[in-house]
Structure 1
Amino acid sequence: MNTAGVKNLERLVAAEPPLFMGILNTTPDSFSDGGEFTEPEAAAAHAETLMRAGAAIIDIGGESTGPGSSAVNAEEEWRRVEGAVAAISNRCILSIDTFKSDVAERALKLGAAVVNDVSALRYDPRMGQVAAEHNAYVVLMHSKELDDSPHASQLERAFSDVINDTTEFLERAVERAVSAGIERNKIIIDPGMGKFVSADPEISWEIVARLDELKRSLPFPILLSASRKGFLGGAVSQRDPISQLLHLAAIAKGAKIIRTHNVAMLSEFFGAWKRLKMV
């Protein structure tokens, strides 16, 4: 584990400004950039670009979890990310986007400081223990109940109340994390977006609109990522501006970490917003 990375993240989380997490997919089938960064050299170069644009954290993933994406085993997932993890882990705060403990453990040993688990420790019962042993930060994401995979799906979902249901889900996730030995100050929560939570686009918009209620209910840093997701509408290539507008709204409602493909645009939008004294 990158002890310096964990310490730097502790300092940044405690500070006032929001943090930007740059998305680095080393997958052939991600919905917006699949195949662009499968080679370690290309991945490392893109990580540098994201950091220069303002990313405090790089989130690297080797398995697409979007609707219709193909599942891969841990060995293939690790093969996809290993070169990039080795190349950049000592140059940034690195997050590994995986729900498999074997992949997380290897990345943590090479210097990752964060485990970003879309299953919120539900898929792999060993994940919490691995994160705890490495004193890593853990992102717990709210999503629909698992069937056989944490991938996003077209399934509908009924909510009694979006924020109450999200809060209850995340409370259970926090209990799992603490029971596994993860320190409470290493927990980050993610309310989920898009088809991870519902096929109904309005659910994601409501989560952002009421994010301040979630913040009041749960005393953990909130990560939010609406980046290029289908609920925003339009073509994938045209979703960056509306993604960043939604991210600014999330920051105003209390989000601490924004996970995005286009860090440069988010940094530009946020800089303009600050100059207008809106944050």
Structure 2
Amino acid sequence: MTTPDNLHPAPDRGRAFARLLADRRDGLTALAALIMGIVNVTPDSFSDGGRFDDAERAVAHARALVAQGADLVDVGGESTRPGATPVPQEEELRRILPVIAALTAETIVSVDTAHAAVADAALAAGAHVINDITGLQGEPQMAQAIAAHGAGVVIMHNSGMFGSSHGTEGDPVLACMSFFEKSLGIAARAGIATDRIVLDPGFGFGKSVEQSLQLLARIDEFAAIGLPILIGTSRKTFIGRVTGGGEPRPVDDRLAGTLATNIVAVQANAAIVRVHDVAEHADALRMLAAIRNARPEAQA
């Protein structure tokens, strides 16, 4: 006898994301890492706030990023920069829902939000992934919302949650590992499938320049967890400080430094780079692939 559950199977929003991650793991993608293009539908993001703060411009920008080589896009309706003014959830949804509706049939859509109600509405509208800067340790309902839709999730380490700007204490890699262990426990209890979980060390969130550099130098240590790693260094402050010396480089002058961080991370097997400058990263990753393929063992 057919049951109501048979008639209405559970949503599987994250299936395409899980398949993309598996293809990358198995070497079936053109490049060594996936590219996530950033689409900020906000007036106050640290890098491009106000440039794409209406749905029409945001959708056009997202499509341009996909044409340049983005494998997926990350849509955000609330700035997460230090000191940003919190946005009512109704306003966050007003900004992102039209963008999601326009894009879900064209590419994999991630939504950058820390709010469970926003995540639930975004997934109901067709989004595939939730990028949670609280690592499932903010609102208790977040993990349940993601699991209910069968969605993917990016779990970000955040030692500066809830308005704090304190740095990661002690060894930054061990701090991330401990945080991820707790978050993965939350995910498991909620029923989020592991094939659609990605971990993000959280560059720019409660970390000093030195800690950020340590994390980059030791990305390979996260392999012990056995899950894909996302790198979100694009235009971050620590890049401006390193490249600018005594006078930090302005946000729009951090591309070269960003490229360097992401190539280092990809060589250490990072799975996804989250970036503003998609075309330049696609070129850099193509060059990396060509160099790797020139090795004699690759041609055997």
Q: Check whether TM > 0.5.
A: yes
Q: Who wins on radius of gyration, i.e. which is larger?
A: 2
Structure 1 CA distance, aligned partners of 2:272 and 2:202? 13
Q: Where do 1:99-138 residues align within 5 Å?
A: 99-138=114-153
Q: Where do 1:47-62 residues align within 5 Å?
A: 47-62=62-77
Contact 1:208–1:253 (8 Å) recurs in 2: no
Say which SS state the counterpart of residue 202 (structure 1) adopts: helix
Say which SS state the counterpart of residue 259 (structure 1) adopts: strand
Contact 1:56–1:93 (8 Å) recurs in 2: yes
| Count, aligned residues | 270
Contact 2:158–2:206 (8 Å) recurs in 1: yes
Structure 2 CA distance, aligned partners of 1:167 and 1:173? 10
Match in the other structure for 1:229:
236
Structure 2 CA distance, aligned partners of 1:187 and 1:158? 25
Deviation (angstroms), 1:13: 0.7
Question: Which amino acid is 2:106 matched to?
Answer: R
Deviation (angstroms), 1:2: 8.2
Match in the other structure for 1:251:
266
The unaligned stretches of length 5 or more in structure 2 are 1-9, 241-248, 296-300
Report Cα offsets for 1:123-166 as digits up to 9, x if no partner. Answer: 111010000000001111011153x34xxx5433421x221121
Deviation (angstroms), 1:28: 0.4
Q: Where do 1:54-93 residues align within 5 Å?
A: 54-93=69-108
Deviation (angstroms), 1:87: 1.3
Say which SS state the counterpart of residue 37 (structure 2) adopts: strand
Match in the other structure for 1:156:
167
Deviation (angstroms), 1:271: 1.2
Say which SS state the counterpart of residue 207 (structure 1) adopts: helix
Are 1:173 and 2:171 counterparts? no
Are 1:268 and 2:275 counterparts? no
Structure 1 CA distance, aligned partners of 2:142 and 2:54? 27
Identity rate, percent: 38
Say which SS state the counterpart of residue 139 (structure 1) adopts: strand
Deviation (angstroms), 1:8: 2.7
Match in the other structure for 1:7:
15
Q: 1:155 to 1:165 in 2, by over 3 A?
A: closer
Structure 1 CA distance, aligned partners of 2:124 and 2:87? 21
Are 1:26 and 2:41 counterparts? yes
Question: Which amino acid is 1:37 matched to?
Answer: F
Q: 1:176 to 1:145 in 2, by over 3 A?
A: farther
TM-score normalised by L of structure 2: 0.86
TM-score normalised by L of structure 1: 0.92
Deviation (angstroms), 1:120: 0.7
Say which SS state the counterpart of residue 268 (structure 1) adopts: helix
Contact 2:33–2:271 (8 Å) recurs in 1: yes
Structure 1 CA distance, aligned partners of 2:287 and 2:195? 31
Report Cα offsets for 1:71-120 as digits up to 9, x if no partner. Answer: 11211111111221111122110001001011111111111110100001
Say which SS state the counterpart of residue 55 (structure 1) adopts: coil
Contact 1:2–1:89 (8 Å) recurs in 2: no
Structure 2 CA distance, aligned partners of 1:38 and 1:157? 32
Question: Which amino acid is 1:177 matched to?
Answer: A
Structure 2 CA distance, aligned partners of 1:39 and 1:189? 30
**Following TM superposition, where does structure 1 have runs of at least 4 consecutive aligned residues deviating by more than 3 angstroms?**
none
Question: Which amino acid is 1:197 matched to?
Answer: G
Match in the other structure for 1:191:
201
Contact 2:199–2:227 (8 Å) recurs in 1: yes
